[in-house]
Amino acid sequence: MFKRLSLKVKLAMVLLLVSVIPLGLFSALVTHKYDQAMEHAVKDQQTMITISTAMHLNEWLEMRISAIQEVIKQNESVFKSGNIERIMPFLKMLHYTDTQNISYSYATEEGMAYASDGAIVDFSVMNHSPEINKEKVTISDVIEDPIHFKKMVIISVPVLDEGAEYYGTVSSVMDVNALTRDITMMSSKQAGTAYLVSSEGMVLAHPNKEWVGKNIFEFEMKEDSSYRLESVLETSAGSTAYKDTKGIERIASFAEVETTGWRVVVSTEQEEILAPIKMIEHTGLLLLIGLMLVAAALSLLFSRVILRPILNISSLMKKVTAGDLSERLQVNSPDEIGLLNQNINMMLDSFTEKLRDLEKSMKSEQELMVRNILMDKQSKMDALTGLYNHKSYHEYMDKLIEQTQLIEFNLQLVIVDIDNFKKVNDTFGHAAGDIALTVVSERIMEHMDSNDFAARYGGEEFVILLTSKNDEMNARILEQIRASIEHTPIEEMRGANVTVSMGAYTVRRGDSKEKVFNEADGALYRAKRTGKNKIVIASDIR
């Protein structure tokens, strides 16, 4: 039957075989590869966001543990005494400075717990009380608060001496809702649902409070053995596919919270997260069908043309199928062959451009994420010294002044000024002056703990906020800072050094922020007027 066909039809059939069919196969291959790349990119992006949130939660927990340990360290004799009346002010101080917890408590070795809100609980007679670890810091899973009838998580820090002898336990009792802040934000910004599970699979935090306390395996369909959430608890980070109890296919991205072994999980319907990819796939398929129809119609016209243009197209399609998108057909005439060559070139340009746009889009999203993080940090930090800036000082000082109105705790403001700084710039140059500023900031930070705060107030002037220490300890720290700066030679100043003068004032209840600063500034002025390179306490002036 093929022999009876006209040459025109034969040429049209040949054209379809050597160009349209390879084109269709290549397009299907490219579309498949593109879909795979996009799917991996979407999953990786969701996993990175989950890892970032897990790291933030880990830092959040470690900060609270460090705060408790620092208070115990600074007041070791008080906590070892077991005297509740002496311990209670420190528990209340921790509670007032941490608004995200229910209460702080001190538990004796016998199991009696005394909370900062006045509650007293005997854990030794409770059926579901958290087990007290007398050797190391522990963080509980979700338990029921017997006083407030809330779901809570407890951070417990044992009070030990150098010989590891146990005296009691200081605990931070946190409402589960405090843990859901970042989890809830993830659910609002990302497709799907974000939640927190323990290392044993118990749900600790979930936008739907009914799920809190349940096991993660209750989320999946048990009958389908090909989908499992086991990898969430077995691997520190990644993603896995499973079917939920309604039979809906979902993708779960997860990351471990290092301090506790908990997992931050983001669960999204697979159809929802891959919807943009499917849309691109359908668009590409329609485009391919359209091109194939156009090619089939044009093949009837090309049957009158010599065979060479067809061979050229066939040769190009072989290279395209092999993955080479660099070569293009020559358009030597405005006839049908020329038009087909032009369309094929445009199609290859379109595929090349889409692949390039995909790379640019992924790179732009990564750059935007990094830029936002850097901008947030830069808005709070001084670029030269790495300390907090003027604005951050005022924000932090406002919060501390507000706290002093609620509870008495030791807070001292220190203003530090480099002596004869103009002379340093005039003698050694502004670059050496910048080095001197950096050296002073480094010496300040070396003598501060996690409860203290330092900022560059402006020019050669710095501010320090010392908390949780008495005046004698503060004076010793300030003298260490002053002496270390004085004895640090600066290479850019030909081995010379700089000195600093300090004015300090201990905040009293009722003091305004302006009064505190003026008192410290007056003490600094006295230090400058009486010889420099010294520390003057405002109370010493009176």
Query: What DSSP letter does each residue of 283-333 carry, written as one string?
Result: HHHHHHHHHHHHHHHHHHHHTTS-SHHHHHHHHHHHHHHTT----------
Contact 419, 501 (CB under 8 A): yes
Q: Give me the mean pLDDT over the 365-378 stretch.
A: 54
Say if residue 7's pLDDT is above 90: no
Taking residue 244's Cβ as centre, other Cβ atoms within 10 Å add up to 17
pLDDT tens for 432-472 read 999 999 999 999 999 999 889 999 999 999 999 999 889 99
When mean pLDDT is compared over 282-286, 325-329, 354-358, 427-431, the highest value belongs to 427-431
**Residue with the two structure tokens 């002025």:** 525
Q: Does residue 104 carry a pLDDT above 70?
A: yes
Instruction: Name the residue among 5, 1, 7, 2 with its Cα closest to residue 307.
Output: 7
d(CA 179, CA 153): 9
First to last CA, the chain: 118
Q: 89 pLDDT band (50/70/90 cuts)?
A: very high
Query: Which residues fall within 8 angstroms of residue 78, CB to CB, at 6 or more apart?
Result: 86, 87, 90
Q: Kindly report each contact of residues 3-9 with a partner whose C-beta sits within 8 Å and lies 24 or more positions away, as own/partner.
A: 7/303, 8/300, 8/303, 8/304, 9/303
Instruction: Calculate the alpha carbon distances from 200 to 225, 233, 263, 369, 502 in Å.
Output: 20, 7, 10, 33, 54
Beta bridge partners of 356: none
**Structure confidence at residue 116 (pLDDT):** 85
- Over residues 118-142, mean pLDDT: 71
The conformation of residue 209, written as its DSSP 8-state character, comes to: G
Q: Is the pTM for the entire model greater than 0.75?
A: no
The answer to whether residue 223 scores a pLDDT higher than 50 is yes
- Given this model, what pLDDT does residue 357 score? 78
Whether 141 and 111 have beta carbons less than 8 Å apart is answered as no
Pairing of strands 120-122, 138-139: unpaired
- How many other C-beta atoms lie within 10 A of the C-beta of residue 274? 19
Mean pLDDT over all residues of the chain?
80
